[in-house]
Structure formats: C-alpha cells, structure tokens
C-alpha cells in the first residue's frame, strides 16, 4: 500500500494531514473488501445521473467504462491502494479521474461518502448472506444424508448429560437440522431489512439534484428505498441484526461441536472423525485430536464479540453519520468470514462422520434408558404415574445392585415390585420397543423420523 496525498477534500485545509492521523483515520486497509460493491453502486449512480440529465450522457458512459476498467485492474491484482486516500471510496474515485481525466470528477454529484458507504455495506452483506444461506443448505443436505442412513441406529438420549431415554441417531441429527432451519429463516428475515437502498440520502439531508432513487434501487436489485435520509446514513442496525443471527448460528455450531468432541472421545466412542479432519499431537503419538469441531466451538467467540462490538459502537451515537461507523467493517467482515469458514468445515466433515452403532447401542442399554417405558407400562395397567415412577425407581435400585439391566431382571423380581407386571413387559423394555412407541409427530420412532427426513428433503428441494 502506498501513501499518496492527493486529498479529495483538501480545499479548505492549509496544512497537510499529520502522518499518524492519516494512518489512524484510514480504513482502506480493511474496507478494500468492499471494492466491487463500491463499483457496482457507483455504476448505478452514474447511470442514474446520466438518465436524469444531471450529468451529460457521454460523461456517464465514460465513468461507467472507467469503473469497469478499475474493476478489471482490481481483479488482476494491479490496483494500487493508497492509505493517503483514506478509504476504498476515495481510492476508486481518484483512480477513475486518473483513468478518464476530469470527466471522473462528476461521479460524486448528488452523493456523499455517507450514503455511499451505507450502500456498499448493504450490498456486501446481502451478497454474503446469500452465500451463507447456500452453505447452510449444503450442511443441511449433509445432515439429511447421514440421518437417512441411521433411522434405526439406537443411541442414548441425554438430559443433564445422563442417559435418559433411547432415541435414534437420525432423530438427534434432525434436532441439529431444526436449529439450522431457524438460523436460515433468521438470515432471510434479516436480508429483507438489509436490502434497502440508502443512496440518495447524500451526506444526511438528501440532495438538491433531481435524482431517481427508484431507478438506482432497481439497478442494484434493492427491494426498497430508505424512507429517511438521516436514518439511512447513520444506523447500522442491519449489521447488528446479521451478527446477532450469525451468533445464534455459531452458538448452534458450538453445541454440535461439543457433542462431536464428546462422541469422538474413547469414553463415548459413538463416532469416529475421518483422519483428514483431525490432527495429531507433537508429543503424544497416540493422539487424534478433533481440532475442527474444537476450533468451530472456539470461533463462536469471535462472532459473539463482533455482535457486542457493533452494539457498543452504535450505542449513544447522535444522528446522523459519525466516523465511529467506520469501525463497523472489521467486526462485520470477520463475522462473515468466520461463519462461512465454519459452515464450510462442517459441510465437508459432517457427511463423512463415521458412526459406531454398537457403541451407541451399548451405552443406551447400559443406562436404564427404558425405565420410563416401564413406568408408562404400569400406567397402562391402571397404576397412577407417580406410584409407577416409585416402583420403577425401586427396580432400578435392584438392577444396579445386581449389576444387570431392567430387561435382565427375572419376572419374579419384577412381580414382587408390582403384581400388575406380566410377561409382556419384556417387549417394552427393549430399546426398539421404546423408540417405536414414540410415534407421534416430533417423536423419535424410526418411522416418524423417516417422515421428518422426507419432509425436510422436500422443503429443501422446493427452496432451490
């Protein structure tokens, strides 16, 4: 990056900017990421200025050609960014004048960097929301693929991290799917409020030129035009909304990460992670560490941090634009990169997770996971639930003492606890019987889960 000093605003200044202040106030080191959106916005603005006869049509055409050539320079890695020109907007505008001469100076007519940057950030965010939504879909498809293969694989369901009741593995995966569905709904909703055009608000009050904002909005595929110029140049609530939705998404991914890490440990042994998603230890030769889920769990912190940064940045700002807002870019850019890297990592890894059904089953069989089924059985025999609960509690204590499962207790022992128990009890004490009994909508019965997967697939296909 170079430091040129051809300031675009130095008319009223009598001394050059202090070198430290120049670097301190510059944002091009990070907002260059907005370049292609800045150019898109400028092309739409120039098109409108030409069509509304605010600038001559051939000037508009020259500007558009110049901007297109600048985009090519940027794509080719040949564009020289200058800290002296402060930000992405002034770098591009200065380059335009360098390329096409004085005609380039007409571009900023009826516009300010304040409505320009608000427009760029919205275009940038909209683009990335769309990409993130696609990545979520890829991950959802991966989950469905894994779930489809495991609708009969029984594992323990947990509460308090204690074995609670048996569930099928696919049901657990579909819980993750449901979280992702809400995450994408939140992003779609947030996108509606992102997709509003600020351009035309100029510095804060609008412009005295006869602009056509609807035209600019349609050129840039914005659904709406902002309703108040002061609000449009200043508020970054849409970015806060995004980081909030992104934080919830990362919170979900961190929960999955935690489970994958636990399941991959030898103590659980429920899954194996493919070697290519793990790393070794430099000292302990036996180690295979679940680095990818650990990092995803850790990276959630960055996105939560960005949410708090943006909230704090916006808090107490008076209307309208303040330079504080330049600080919105780094947290936003970082959140987008983090979320999209984590989704990519999970999208690649999840369909390749290797489940270990025997270990899952053994853990479910070991933990008295069918105790509730036995209580429900007694209720069906006419015993009030509270009493049934007590009887089963006593039987669990007996089984613990004898180091056997409930299904291994002889009928005499069971009947001693309750005369209502007969031979048919052993059916409800099986893991298969337990999951199959929960066949209502939302339950873990294999046939219910298969229907849930089929419905989820249909919905994903429809949204393509």
Among all residues, which ones are annotated catalytic? 160, 281
Q: How far is the CB of 278 from ligand ARG (least distance, A)?
A: 41
For the bound state, the minimum distance from the C-beta of residue 77 to ligand ARG, rounded and expressed in Å, comes to 23
Q: Are 6 and 84 in contact (CB under 8 A)?
A: yes
Strand locations in 139-288, DSSP E?
154-159, 162-168, 196-197, 224-225, 271-272
Which positions touch ligand ARG (CB under 6 A)?
A: 27, 31, 87, 113-114, 117, 321, 323, 325-326
Give the span between the Cα atoms of 414 and 142, in whole angstroms: 45
Q: Of 87 and 235, which has the nearer Cβ to ligand ARG?
A: 87
CB 290 within 8 A of CB 278: yes
How far is Cα 422 from Cα 204, in angstroms, rounded to an integer?
Answer: 81
Quote the CA–CA distance of 435 and 430 in Å, as a whole number: 9
The rounded distance, in Å, linking the Cα atoms of 443 and 168 is 10
Q: What distance in Å separates the CA atoms of residue 323 and residue 24, rounded to the nearest whole number?
A: 12
Question: Which residue number, 90 or 406, has a Cβ lying nearer to ligand ARG?
Answer: 90
CA proximity to 374, closest of 345, 334, 414:
414
Which of 4, 165, 169, 181 lies closest to 81, judged by CA?
4
Task: Name the token pair of 310.
Answer: 């943006």
Long-range contacts of 141-146 (CB under 8 A, 24+ apart): 141/460, 142/346, 142/347, 142/350, 142/351, 143/173, 143/174, 143/176, 143/177, 143/180, 143/350, 144/177, 144/453, 144/456, 144/457, 144/460, 145/351, 146/170, 146/173, 146/350, 146/351, 146/353, 146/355
């Amino acid at each position: 990056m170079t430091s040129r000093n051809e300031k675009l605003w130095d008319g009223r200044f009598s001394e050059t900017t202090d070198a430290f202040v120049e670097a301190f106030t510059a944002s091009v080191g990070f907002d260059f990421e907005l370049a292609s959106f800045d150019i898109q916005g400028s092309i739409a603005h120039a098109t409108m200025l030409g069509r509304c006869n605010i600038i001559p049509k051939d000037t508009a055409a020259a500007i558009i050609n110049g901007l297109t050539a600048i985009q090519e320079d940027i794509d080719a890695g040949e564009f020289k960014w200058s800290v002296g020109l402060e930000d992405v907007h002034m770098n591009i505008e200065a380059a335009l004048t360098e390329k096409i001469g004085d005609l380039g100076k007409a571009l900023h007519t009826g516009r300010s960097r304040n409505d320009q940057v608000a427009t760029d950030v919205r275009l940038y965010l909209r683009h990335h929301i769309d990409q993130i939504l696609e990545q979520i879909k890829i991950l959802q498809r991966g989950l469905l693929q894994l779930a489809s293969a495991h609708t009969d694989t029984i594992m323990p369901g947990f509460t308090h991290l204690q074995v609670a009741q048996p569930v099928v593995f696919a049901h657990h995966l579909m819980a993750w799917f449901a979280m992702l569905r809400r995450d994408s709904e939140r992003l779609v909703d947030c996108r509606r409020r992102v997709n509003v055009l600020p351009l035309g608000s100029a510095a804060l009050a609008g412009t005295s030129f006869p602009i056509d904002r609807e035209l600019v909005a349609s050129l840039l595929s914005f659904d709406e035009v902002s309703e108040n110029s002061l609000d449009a140049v200043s508020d970054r609530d849409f970015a806060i909304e995004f980081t909030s939705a992104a934080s919830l998404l990362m919170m979900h991914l961190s929960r999955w990460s935690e489970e994958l890490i636990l399941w991959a440990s030898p103590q659980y042994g429920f899954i194996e992670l493919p070697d290519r998603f793990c790393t070794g230890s430099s000292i302990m030769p036996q180690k295979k560490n679940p680095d990818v889920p650990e990092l995803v769990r850790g990276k959630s912190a960055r996105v939560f941090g960005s949410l708090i940064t943006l909230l704090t940045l916006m808090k107490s700002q008076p209307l309208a634009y303040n330079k504080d807002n330049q600080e919105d870019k780094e947290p936003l850019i970082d959140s987008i990169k983090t979320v999209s890297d984590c989704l990519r990592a999970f999208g690649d890894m999840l369909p390749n997770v290797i489940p270990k059904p025997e270990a899952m089953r053994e853990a479910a069989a070991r933990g008295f996971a069918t105790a509730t089924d036995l209580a429900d059985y007694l209720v069906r025999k006419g015993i009030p639930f509270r009493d049934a609960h007590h009887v089963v509690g006593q039987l669990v204590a007996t089984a613990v003492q004898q180091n056997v499962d409930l299904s291994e207790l002889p009928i005499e022992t069971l009947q001693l606890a309750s005369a209502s128990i007969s031979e048919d009890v052993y059916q409800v004490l099986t893991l298969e019987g337990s999951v199959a009994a929960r066949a209502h909508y939302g339950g873990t019965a294999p046939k219910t889960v298969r229907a849930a997967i089929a419905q989820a697939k249909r919905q994903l296909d429809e949204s393509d």
